[in-house]
């Protein structure tokens, strides 16, 4: 994957000075920051109320017993 970003001069100076401390160039430092963020970020978890839990359980049962239908959508080339 290739990622291209535009930095202001101030952002470039800040990242460059931080990268230099670690012995990295700016590109390697930004890759490090992105990877660290991905590792440390915790997904948000929402609690379901009892009604929602019941609906999910009903959906699992419907799927298991073959009561559900599979939908196929054609992608438009436009």
Q: What is the structure's pLDDT at 36?
A: 95
Cβ contacts of residue 32 below 8 Å, gap of 6+?
A: 22, 24
- Kindly report, residue by residue over 16-73, the tens digit of the pLDDT: 999 999 999 999 999 999 999 999 988 889 999 999 999 999 999 999 999 988 888 8
DSSP letters spanning 36-58 = HHHHH---------HHHHHHHHH
pTM for the full predicted model: 0.53
Task: Delimit the domains of the chain by residue range.
Answer: 1-41
Cα separation, 15 vs 2, in Å, equals 19
């Amino acid at each position: 994957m290739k990622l291209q970003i535009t930095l202001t001069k101030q952002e470039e100076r800040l990242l460059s000075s931080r990268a230099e401390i670690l012995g990295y160039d700016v590109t390697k430092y930004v890759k490090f920051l992105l990877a660290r963020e991905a590792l440390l970020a915790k997904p948000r978890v929402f609690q379901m109320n009892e009604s929602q839990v019941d609906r999910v359980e009903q959906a699992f049962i419907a799927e298991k017993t073959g009561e559900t239908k599979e939908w196929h959508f054609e992608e438009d080339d436009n």
